[in-house]
């Protein structure tokens, strides 16, 4: 009996050791360009997207490869998707930068999603047009030149957050930088309709004085639907010491999709750089 009890204890002890030594379940880890991580299982990887499932869940997610820095697989293998850009050596402040202004590419959010780069560059150009109407003695750098300098120095939408406004002023060789975000959200819809018609009648009498009436009707209708939008524009201006000299968030009055143009003009007139 005593031997049986000892045997049972020995088996239980061995089982506990085996369980403790069993390797923990491993998962794939996606590290994104913004520093956040996703833990789970990579199911597929295409040219543009990665299909992923979170640990303990069953729903498939799609992650854009442009937003992923690297993947550390459960096997321990690491695959670099977008190597982190080396921060450019920022030049010292240039005395010739006084009185110069650069407008950074605007952030664009459409219906809670990141807007297209082309549209963001268009808004940047619209801001440049609004600000230069009353430039006075200030010299505005053309957005094409601004964007070329940023691209050459690996400053992208993802990496620009790693730069101070002082560094951006020095990099672009300006005293002031203008930065902003445009948010466009679909709201209500307007439907209008119109229509018309007419009736033609012909009355004839035969030889027996019998009257015959012939008629014809026609009609048409037309309707159209237009989408309304709510547009908000945030504009900030920083100088080469890092001070914010202007910051204002304004909601557009007009419900059209291009209402940001009027709003940019409204904000530009209220900045200290707009020389009336």
* pLDDT tens for each residue of 133-151: 999 999 999 999 999 999 9
Could you tell me if residue 164 is inside a domain?
Answer: yes
Could you tell me if residue 167 is inside a domain?
Answer: yes
Are 23 and 155 found together in one domain? Answer: no
Q: What pLDDT shows up at residue 19?
A: 44
Q: What pLDDT shows up at residue 210?
A: 61
Domain boundary among 23, 48, 80: 80
Conformation bin of residue 75: beta by default, left when phi > 0, alpha when psi is -120 to 50: alpha
Are 129 and 243 found together in one domain? Answer: yes
Residues 8-29 pLDDT 10s:
555 555 545 544 444 556 899 9
Q: Which residues of the chain have pLDDT under 50?
A: 15, 18-22
Interior/surface letters 202-226, b for 16+ CB within 10 angstroms, e for the rest: eeeeeeeeeeeeeeeeeeeeeeeee
Are 179 and 43 found together in one domain? Answer: no
Could you tell me if residue 159 is inside a domain?
Answer: yes
Are 230 and 100 found together in one domain? Answer: yes
Are 234 and 181 found together in one domain? Answer: yes
Positive/negative CA dihedral, 62, 63, 64, 70:
negative
Q: What pLDDT shows up at residue 117?
A: 87
Domain boundary among 80, 110, 141: 80
Could you tell me if residue 146 is inside a domain?
Answer: yes
CATH code of the domain in which 42 resides:
2.30.30.100
Residue pair 88/159 in contact by the 8 Å Cβ criterion: no
pTM of the full predicted structure? Answer: 0.60
* Neighbouring-strand partners of residue 60: 53
Residue pair 155/88 in contact by the 8 Å Cβ criterion: yes
Give me the domain span that covers residue 175: 95-187+226-268
Helix, strand, coil shares of the chain, percent, nearest 5, are 25, 40, 35
Sheet holding 68-72, edge to edge: 60-64, 49-54, 37-45, 28-32, 68-72, 78-80
* Domain count for the chain: 2
Residue 240 exposed, middle or buried by CB count within 10 Å (0-12, 13-18, 19+): buried
* Neighbouring-strand partners of residue 182: 108, 233
Are 72 and 100 found together in one domain? Answer: no
The bridge status of strand 176-205 relative to strand 107-110 is parallel
Residue pair 184/260 in contact by the 8 Å Cβ criterion: yes
């Amino acid at each position: 009996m005593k031997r049986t009890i000892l045997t049972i204890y020995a088996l239980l002890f061995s089982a506990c050791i085996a369980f403790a030594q069993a390797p923990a379940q491993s998962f794939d880890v996606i590290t994104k360009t913004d520093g956040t991580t996703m833990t789970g299982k990579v199911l597929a990887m295409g040219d543009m997207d990665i299909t992923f499932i979170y640990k303990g869940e069953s729903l498939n997610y799609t992650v854009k490869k442009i937003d992923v820095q690297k993947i550390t697989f459960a096997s321990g293998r690491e695959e670099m998707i977008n190597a982190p850009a080396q921060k450019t050596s920022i030049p010292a402040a240039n005395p010739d930068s006084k009185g110069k202004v650069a407008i950074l590419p605007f952030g664009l959010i459409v219906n809670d999603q990141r807007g297209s780069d082309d549209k963001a560059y268009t808004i940047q150009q619209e801001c440049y047009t609004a600000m230069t109407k009353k430039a006075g003695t200030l010299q505005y750098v053309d957005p094409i030149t601004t964007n070329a300098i940023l691209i050459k120095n690996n400053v992208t939408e993802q990496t620009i957050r790693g730069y101070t406004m002082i560094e951006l002023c020095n990099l672009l060789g300006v005293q002031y930088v203008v930065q902003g975000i445009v948010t466009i959200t679909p709201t209500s819809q307007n439907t209008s309709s119109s229509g018309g018609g007419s009736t033609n009648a012909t009355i004839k009498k035969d030889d027996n004085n019998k009257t015959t009436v012939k008629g014809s009707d026609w009609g048409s209708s037309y309707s159209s639907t237009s989408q309304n939008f709510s547009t908000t524009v945030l504009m900030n201006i920083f100088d080469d010491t890092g001070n914010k000299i202007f910051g204002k968030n304004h909601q557009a009055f007009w419900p059209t999709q291009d209402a940001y143009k009027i709003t940019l003009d409204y904000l530009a007139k209220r900045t200290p750089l707009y020389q009336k």
